[in-house]
Amino acid sequence: MATIVDTFTGACVRLLQTRYWKAILTALLVSFSLFFAVPRFNYVLNASADMGWQVVMQQRDASFLYQPTGVPPTSQAAKKTFRMTVPLVAKVLRLNALGIYGLQFLLGILFVYLVIDFVQTETGDRMTAALFGIAFATLYVGRACFTDVYSRFEGWCYLLLFLSVYFRRWYLVFLFTFLACWTDERALIGAAFAALWWLFRENGPDGMFNFKAVASKRYAAVVAAVLMYVAMRYVLQTRLGYYTPTAGVGFKYILYGFRYFNFGTWTFLEGLWIPVLYKFYLLLKHRHRAFFTVNLLVLAVAVVSSFVVFDITKSGSYVFADALLALAVMARYCEPARIRTVLGYAALVCFLFPPYFIILDINPYILQQESVPVIISKLIVKRYSL
């Protein structure tokens, strides 16, 4: 066993010393992700028969906003009224459903690469970036651009929110936060973590309540994007009559969803809950109680609100930015070896845990993306059972 571990470690070290290690690691992680969570490509090929894709194409062809009609109010398709970013991209680039998914797939590859690059830039350590990349690529948030063949576009939204902390120009922070909100209103959850990230990054854990912190350009850009989105949506709803059905959404669903609270919450971050919890320990240890309290409240609200809707894992995965915040806290207070240890455990757990997710309007409620071995086994059984 020791020989196997040493061999694997040596191979990793050699890979990280190569010139194009980020690209090679990205290719390996994407391949691994697709091997253990195979997208249902045939679903996109038959997109014309899908209600959600039909609405997206109607949004693309509309001259302004499109209010979905003739669809069940509890469906995803009915809630696309204000989710305009992807249809607008499709309109500009003249994409059909297959073109949208193809672009989304490429963005998924870019997402993994940029996460690795981001962590390496923040920590200055390639091994830390590799470990975080392994954990990220095996999460729901890291697979979303590949596995979403149902026009939900959560992968787009996750990526846009990530770009709001990846780029440092305030106008890009504003732009990507704003576009994320018009991709899915649940981006407001992720925007709260983006705001916390910039507060910590620019002012430290003790500077969040002074004027300098509130006036910092990047934090202000996140807040301004959210406020502009809320204001524009208010006008569209009250003045022009556009709306999103509230069927299938509400606090009455919390008691129903809370039956899956433990497992559902776990699927949001899986192994990356380890650095997130360690972050809270470090904040308390160094007596940053104010930042600890605000961060904990934001996380609690994000987790609980994820159970207000049916698609629990999708909604809860917007907390992934808290793992980036955990990385920043560890980089501030921990030696590189300790960070590697924490992320090593996180990557191992994410690697071993199957790709489960929870959505309560599909029975069975706990679902799993099928892997290549499972698909092959099913084909063999089907072939010889005839």
Q: Which amino acid is at 38?
A: V
Question: Which residues make beta-bridge pairs with 358?
Answer: 366
DSSP state of 318: G
Q: Would strands 366-368 and 356-358 be described as parallel, antiparallel, or unpaired? A: antiparallel
Q: CA–CA separation, 108 vs 102, rounded Å?
A: 10
Can you give the pLDDT at residue 210?
A: 66
Q: CA–CA separation, 200 vs 295, rounded Å?
A: 11
Q: Which residues contact 149 (CB under 8 A, 6 or more apart)?
A: 39, 40, 41, 43, 44, 101
CA distances 386 to 292, 336, 380, 382, Å, are: 60, 57, 10, 7
Can you give the pLDDT at residue 209?
A: 66
Tokens 């808290």, residue located: 322
Question: Which residues make beta-bridge pairs with 366?
Answer: 358
Q: CA–CA separation, 276 vs 323, rounded Å?
A: 6
Q: What are phi and psi of 280, to 5 degrees?
A: -65, -35
Closest CA to 343 of 283, 247, 271, 254: 271
SS3 17: coil
Question: Which residues make beta-bridge pairs with 141?
Answer: none
Question: Which residues make beta-bridge pairs with 367?
Answer: 357
Q: Which residues contact 284 (CB under 8 A, 6 or more apart)?
A: 292
Q: CA–CA separation, 306 vs 251, rounded Å?
A: 10
Q: CA–CA separation, 302 vs 279, rounded Å?
A: 17
Can you give the pLDDT at residue 125?
A: 93
175-196 burial code (b ≥16 CB/10 A, e <16): bbbbbbbbbbbbbbbbbbbbbb
Can you give the pLDDT at residue 1?
A: 47
CA distances 22 to 47, 121, 319, 325, Å, are: 34, 12, 25, 22
Question: Contact 150/43 with Cβ under 8 angstroms?
Answer: yes
Q: Omega into 73 within 30° of 0, i.e. cis?
A: no
Can you give the pLDDT at residue 133?
A: 96
Question: Contact 220/227 with Cβ under 8 angstroms?
Answer: no
Query: For the chain (length 386 residues), average pLDDT per consecutive 10?
Result: 61 84 96 92 83 92 84 83 94 94 97 97 93 96 94 96 96 97 94 94 76 76 96 93 77 76 93 97 94 95 89 93 95 94 95 86 73 85 74
SS3 168: coil
Q: How many residues are listed for the chain in this entry?
A: 386
